[in-house]
Structure 1
């Protein structure tokens, strides 16, 4: 065992040394190359000031949008953390990764894939990360090929605080309040903000930016808010008045497919005070309002921390030489249809925020052009001048940065599995729903995974008046022509993916 451990340690050491010496050898070639600040925000839906939701307080994200291009129609590849993040980081769709769940580590299915940070590291960048970039359980430290050094540990400072504070009334975000052993789904915290998870992540990122400022860097920062539970300092809760918070309509779309939604996702159901309403179908207004209030407070806290990162770039004199990408890994339902969380192909779950601010491109523009989060990888390759790896399935959005009316794709595709795991292949589900949007219509086809010709159901929704799915038009004869057109577009996309 000792011999095996020593061998593994030597292997890791040699990889790290090769990365460092390779970077030094390319320093001359990378002179003038743009830095990259890569900000991922967990469960962030595009309900922000710059997206037209002026009631959500996000001045720093709004300022970033004023310096870049905001994508109104950007979509994730699957509305759940791990598959979405793996897709962004590898440039591959869930079907190519063969990953649709939270537990599968991408190096077990595509061990030789070159990730975005790995590609940049191989081309002279210092590549580092702190916070949630890959999914929890497969943290950044597991993927030694991607980073110039293991990702920075934000948990140790919280553990140390916990040891010091044990026994008193200080509430830390790493030690959420509980009732009868169950976590509260939302909480207004009076703890020092510096003790909270995302603040620690931001502090480490600021420290690293000071250390990296003189060399081309790719700094990935992953914030955990506004993921459940919605815990934020009181000052962010106080930005919102409960009486101003609107409770969404709770009606299912007419003719909705039985495969469309998972009404009682375990993601929210595991928290205190939630499961008792399962038989009633919906959460009461007061609980819904508190959840929405907590979500908004958590978003505002992250916005403040993002502002600290950008201010640091300005103070270091590198903001004008730094590409900033801000993205959320998928959308989120905040009570619409009487449901919460994601886990579907609906517009609210698949649509995600995406803002790109790059030196040399004018800012303050919004683009209606379709984009996928899959497109971030090739976009950063082009902006950094590092070339595009052959395996990428996305498209560069640089033409849209030049001209926000330019269209790089006709549709954007997402997918979501349903049903039980297949016994002969636990990474796949019995049923797969493929969904595309052309910017107005969303078409979803539910089909057998083992026998794709067996179509189980179809859905068509018209979003020209809003993002809420109102009526499944696929069941109306007058929409047959549109259904056939959208189905052909889906088939063409699936054929292109092979």
Structure 2
């Protein structure tokens, strides 16, 4: 009788652990969504061996790394609007940094597009934002030199929207921060576009954001509720400011310069710009313009500064990922690292974003899914608007029907490439640009000729030669596909 009872008890114990295991497996996955401002794919994992990015490289080794991820608009606020809503731009306001403020903030829920953060929140997730996720550095609507308002950019999305602005007091001051507590605004622009200071990581705002994210992860680990945590880092956005130790990682004299020092052939300067944002830092050693490039020495200095910012942010990302692992949350947390656009580091004499060339619209994207094989490089073309439906599918949430993007979950799960349409569209500067597997085809709605540009990436990956006039048959073939992406935003 005792033996029989023993067997029954043992069976119950085994059943308990089996059911417990099943229960754990059914827990909804958490999401850690990391946004990095102005990060072009200049990381070692993307092939740039000059850059020191050990933490992002390690994450890439466990993720699906997308080598051809494109944003819809190469400016911060507009790019993030399309990311969050899963939609291409349809009106001129969607091309501006005011897109979220004008289209979402302060409006009734019934009148606004639902962001994927809002969707997660309505689906039972606890949502936390830290830093720059939408457009403003702390998620509130106010001007560069104004006190912070109480109006959220995404009023329905967050359970908590946070930023530790430290000695800089407001988010915008922190965004343009210098180590002594000043910022670009207080100096009226009379500052250099870079700084190296002998300070700890917390001597600049991104170090404070990493610290806050670590604290918040510890709080979220104690909740039974699944979480969606987004952390937005400022660097390498201008000004290129970082602690001295990250500058010390580089030998400036050995840094490479752009393979595209001059304007592309047969391209109107109207397709580019004179680096207005960069030149707003008036104490810089040299100004940039399309007619006169900066010197090679200054170009190396600026590249050094940008790379120092990349390495600084890489270290902050590492702190957050390390804490996620220490808390054993990594086993059930999807991790996404995304950048809102690329950046011209002197390419075509431009220092900035705001073009629809490859350098400005191609950016970083890596996705790590627990219990899914990582370490794979995906060369399919994906768009930032594809992230919304992908996250919903990964978390088994109800799909949204009015999105322009498509889920790329099948690319995450299959090493052998499944059927996929290699197409992405980008919009800016009165132009619509189509990226296919081989070509970039751009058409502008303007008077300045030429209005059509064609780049053959098979022979010209740096887009140095517009061959539209030489390849009219390709232009004709691509025009209908380009037209599918013309949303009428310029009409």
Root mean square deviation, CA, Å: 2.8
Matched, 1:47 2:42: yes
- Structure 2 distance, partners of 1:358, 1:309, is 17
User: What residue ranges of structure 1 are gaps of 5+ in the alignment?
Assistant: 1-27, 161-169, 418-431
Q: Who is 2:476 aligned against?
A: 484
Give 1:33-44 correspondences, 5 Å limit: 33-44=28-39
- Is 1:462 aligned to 2:472, yes or no? no
Q: Cα offset for 1:228? A: 0.5
1:149-193 Cα deviation digits (max 9, x unpaired)? 3x1132156439xxxxxxxxx934654699896121111111232
Displacement of 1:98 after TM fit? 4.2
Report the alpha carbon displacement of residue 138 of structure 1 after superposing the two structures with TM: 8.0
SS in structure 2 at match of 1:39: strand
Cα offsets for 1:168-224 (capped at 9, x unmatched): xx9346546998961211111112322310001111111111111233110010000
Residue aligning to 1:266: 277
Q: Is the 8 A contact 1:447 1:455 kept in 2?
A: no
* Aligned counterpart in structure 1 of residue 203 of structure 2, from 195, 200, 207: 195
Identify the residue that residue 421 of structure 1 maps to in structure 2.
none
Is contact 1:93–1:393 with CA below 8 Å preserved after alignment? Answer: yes
**Paired positions, count:** 441
CA contact (8 A) 2:130 2:138 kept: no
Task: Report the secondary structure of 1:344's partner residue.
Answer: coil
Deviation, 1:60, is 0.6
Q: Distance in 2 between matches of 1:153 and 1:88?
A: 21
Q: Secondary structure at the match of 1:243?
A: helix
User: Which residue matches 2:234?
Assistant: 224
1:449-492 per-residue CA deviation (whole Å, 9 max, x = no partner) reads 9xxxx99710000112453111111021xx11111111111113
**1:171 aligned residue:** 179
Q: Deviations over 1:121-141 (max 9, x none)?
A: 000100110100111278253
Contact 1:269 1:275 (C-alpha < 8 Å) held by counterparts: no
Where does structure 2 lack aligned partners over 5 or more consecutive residues? 1-22, 141-151, 171-177
Instruction: Output one character per residue of 1:104-126: Cα deviation in whole Å (capped at 9) or x when no partner.
Output: 41316994211111000000100
Residues 129, 230 of structure 2: 8 Å contact kept: yes
Q: 1:31 to 1:372 in 2, by over 3 A?
A: same
Q: Identify the residue that residue 422 of structure 2 maps to in structure 1.
A: 410
Q: Which residue of 2 aligns with 1:379?
A: 390
Shift of 1:344: 0.6
How far apart are the structure 2 equivalents of 1:496 and 1:396?
A: 24
Match for 1:78 among 73, 76, 79? 73
Query: Following superposition of structure 1 onto structure 2, how do residues 242-281 of structure 1 map, counting pairs within 5 Å?
Result: 242-248=252-258, 249-273=260-284, 276=287, 278=289, 281=292
Return the index of the structure with the highest Cα Rg.
Answer: 2
Whole-Å Cα distance in 2 between the matches of residues 89 and 29 of structure 1? 29
User: Could you say if the C-alpha distance between residues 339 and 352 of structure 1 is closer, same or farther in structure 2, counting changes exceeding 3 Å?
Assistant: same
